[in-house]
Structure 1
Amino acid sequence: MLDVVLDQWKQAEGSLMIDRNAIKGLFTDLFVAGADTSSTTVEWAMAELLQNPQVMNKVKRELREVLGTKTEVEESDISQLPYLQAMVKEVLRLHPPVAMTYYRADATVEIQGYQIPQGTMIILNISAVHRNEDTWDHPDKFEPERFMNRESEFSGKDCRLIPFSGGRRICLGLPLANRTVHTILASLLHQFEWNLPQERRSNGVDMTEKFGVVVSLATPLKAIPKKCAS
Structure 2
Amino acid sequence: MRLLPPAPLLVPRKTTESCTIKGFKIPAKTMVLINAKPIEVDPICSENPNEFQPERFLDSRVDFKGQHFEMLPFGVCRRGCLGVNFVMPLIELALINLIFHFDWKLPLGHGTEDLDMEETIGITMHKKTHLGLKAISDSVFLLFLF
Q: For this structure pair, what is the TM-score category when the shorter chain's length is used for normalisation?
A: 0.7 to 0.9
Which residue of 1 is the match for residue 77 of structure 2?
A: 167
Amino acid at match of 2:66: G
Which residue of 2 is the match for residue 132 of structure 1?
A: 42
Which residue of 1 is the match for residue 9 of structure 2?
A: 100
Amino acid at match of 2:2: R
Which residue of 1 is the match for residue 116 of structure 2?
A: 206
> Normalization by structure 2: what TM-score?
0.79
Which residue of 2 is the match for residue 36 of structure 1?
A: none
- In the alignment, the residues of structure 2 paired with residue 106 and residue 154 of structure 1 have an alpha-carbon distance, to the nearest angstrom, of 27
Which residue of 2 is the match for residue 77 of structure 1?
A: none
Which residue of 2 is the match for residue 141 of structure 1?
A: 51
Identity %: 27
Please identify the structure whose Cα radius of gyration is greater: 1
Long gaps (5+) in structure 2: 141-146
Does the 8 Å CA contact 2:15/2:29 hold for their aligned counterparts? yes
Q: 1:157 to 1:191 in 2, by over 3 A?
A: same
- In the alignment, the residues of structure 1 paired with residue 81 and residue 70 of structure 2 have an alpha-carbon distance, to the nearest angstrom, of 16
Does the 8 Å CA contact 2:2/2:71 hold for their aligned counterparts? yes
Q: 1:198 to 1:172 in 2, by over 3 A?
A: same
- In the alignment, the residues of structure 2 paired with residue 211 and residue 114 of structure 1 have an alpha-carbon distance, to the nearest angstrom, of 24
Q: Aligned with 1:180: secondary structure? A: helix
- In the alignment, the residues of structure 1 paired with residue 129 and residue 101 of structure 2 have an alpha-carbon distance, to the nearest angstrom, of 25
Question: 1:144: how far off?
Answer: 0.9
- In the alignment, the residues of structure 1 paired with residue 21 and residue 122 of structure 2 have an alpha-carbon distance, to the nearest angstrom, of 30
Q: Aligned with 2:93: secondary structure? A: helix
Higher fraction of helix: 1
Work out the number of aligned pairs and report it. 139
Pairing 1:226–2:136 present: yes
- In the alignment, the residues of structure 2 paired with residue 145 and residue 210 of structure 1 have an alpha-carbon distance, to the nearest angstrom, of 28
1:79-101 Cα shifts (integer Å, max 9, x gaps): xxxxxxxxxxxxx2211111222
- In the alignment, the residues of structure 1 paired with residue 106 and residue 61 of structure 2 have an alpha-carbon distance, to the nearest angstrom, of 34
Q: Give the alignment's Cα RMSD to 1 decimal.
A: 2.4
Amino acid at match of 1:200: H
Question: 1:177: how far off?
Answer: 2.9
Q: Aligned with 1:226: secondary structure? A: strand
- In the alignment, the residues of structure 2 paired with residue 107 and residue 139 of structure 1 have an alpha-carbon distance, to the nearest angstrom, of 33
1:30-84 Cα shifts (integer Å, max 9, x gaps): xxxxxxxxxxxxxxxxxxxxxxxxxxxxxxxxxxxxxxxxxxxxxxxxxxxxxxx
